[in-house]
Amino acid sequence: MYERLMDSPVGPLTLRAEGGKLTAILFGDHRTGLLGEDPVLDQTEAELREYFAGDRKVFTVPVHLSGTDFQMKVWAALQEIPYGETATYGEIAVRIGNPKACRAVGTANHNNPISIVIPCHRVIGASGSLTGYGGGLPAKAYLLEWEKKN
């Protein structure tokens, strides 16, 4: 595993890659001291910079997700939420064929290891309110507003 710290408008991001695939984008400095280079870190940083410049709406960096079948369904559904739009936890639950699983969707959303690229920030409460986000609600608000403006 290789990692790198990147500055962004929502604070520092720890990028992790293994085997030529992105495995994590974490808010804050979570480096473990693993050194080395992986070209996917370069691609991830470049694509995030383009995103924050308003020049990228779709990420192409290869990712590796590891989770339960349920989590994988939720994370796949997150990737279907268009740039600049939102969905509720309930809507995601319906999309994955388990309409009563709103809370479980929230837990899977919380456990998404690849923030921004797997856009968990696009999931909001049923009332339209911003709910918990690993990067903090100000980061979630920033990302949603950024996407609406660009």
Q: Could you list the active site residues?
A: 120
Q: Is 146 exposed, middle or buried (0-12, 13-18, 19+ CB in 10 A)?
A: middle
From CA 19, how far away is CA 78, in angstroms rounded?
24
SS3 for the chain is CEEEEECCCCCCEEEEEECCEEEEEEECCCCCCCCCCCHHHHHHHHHHHHHHCCCCCCCCCCECCCCCHHHHHHHHHHCCCCCCCCEEHHHHHHHCCCCCCHHHHHHHHHCCCECCCCCHHHEECCCCCCCCCCCCHHHHHHHHHHHHHC
